[in-house]
Amino acid sequence: MVTPIEDTVPEVSEDVDADELAEIVDELATMNSDDWSTIAENGVAAAAQLEFAFSAVHEDAATDLLEGVRDDLGYAATATEPQGELDDGVVRGTTSEVSVTKEGLEEWVRRIAAYGLDHEGAVLDGWAVLLD
């Protein structure tokens, strides 16, 4: 049986600012190119992989998040160092194969965004479903 996507990320920590989290989740709902309809229309809800990206304010934050995404969540991930003084580091990852419901996806987005914030304020920039 494939794990529900929301079960791959821990509950939101009490240390995460609820207003900041809500702002990020709202922005993602507006700006993200994929949403539940992409998963439903492509018939991949029973076994999907999602990719995602975070911006991290400095190299140590990116390293901390990268290690957490790999070790705590079990996702494949890579990090790119900031290219200049004003650039952010980027952590990109891919979930394992998971099952996805509309409610589960909404909860995963909330939890993964909170996970980033809890790792030195990394911001979830977006996610996409991987299609063959």
Report percent pLDDT > 70 for the chain. Answer: 95
End-to-end CA distance of the chain: 21
> Where are the domains positioned within the chain?
3-129
Model pLDDT for residues 75-104, shown as the tens digit of each residue:
999 998 766 665 678 999 999 999 999 999
Tens of pLDDT, residue by residue over 32-48, are 989 999 999 999 999 99
Mean pLDDT, the chain, whole residue set: 93
Say how many CA atoms lie within 13 Å of 66 toward its Cβ.
17
Q: Percentage helix, strand, coil, to 5, in the chain?
A: 40, 25, 35
pLDDT in tens, 108-126: 999 999 999 999 999 999 9
Could you name the CATH architecture of 3-129?
Answer: 2-Layer Sandwich (3.30)
